[in-house]
Amino acid sequence: ENVKGIYLASPDIDSGKPKKLDYEYVPHEHGKAIRFVIPQLRVWDMVYIVCES
């Protein structure tokens, strides 16, 4: 499936409002993978990926 967006939500960032993350596809020995950066982590973060249907 193709990724439509990757989002980060955390109680430590903007009162938990989801923030869209930049990402890129990278080659992997088992197919394709996605690389993204979590900007900060204090206690916990939730990352969710929205896929195209």
Confidence at residue 35, expressed as pLDDT on a 0 to 100 scale: 97
Residues 6+ apart with CB under 8 A from 29: none
Q: Provide the sign of the torsion angle of the four alpha carbons 25, 36, 1, 51, taken in this order.
A: negative
Domains belonging to the chain, first-starting first, are 3-51 (2.60.40.1180)
pLDDT along the chain (53 residues), means of 10: 94 92 95 93 93 89
Cβ atoms 7, 21 nearer than 8 A = yes
Confidence at residue 42, expressed as pLDDT on a 0 to 100 scale: 86
Strands lying side by side in the sheet with 19-21: 19-21, 3-9, 46-51
Confidence at residue 24, expressed as pLDDT on a 0 to 100 scale: 96
Cβ atoms 38, 45 nearer than 8 A = yes
Confidence at residue 46, expressed as pLDDT on a 0 to 100 scale: 96
Confidence at residue 30, expressed as pLDDT on a 0 to 100 scale: 93
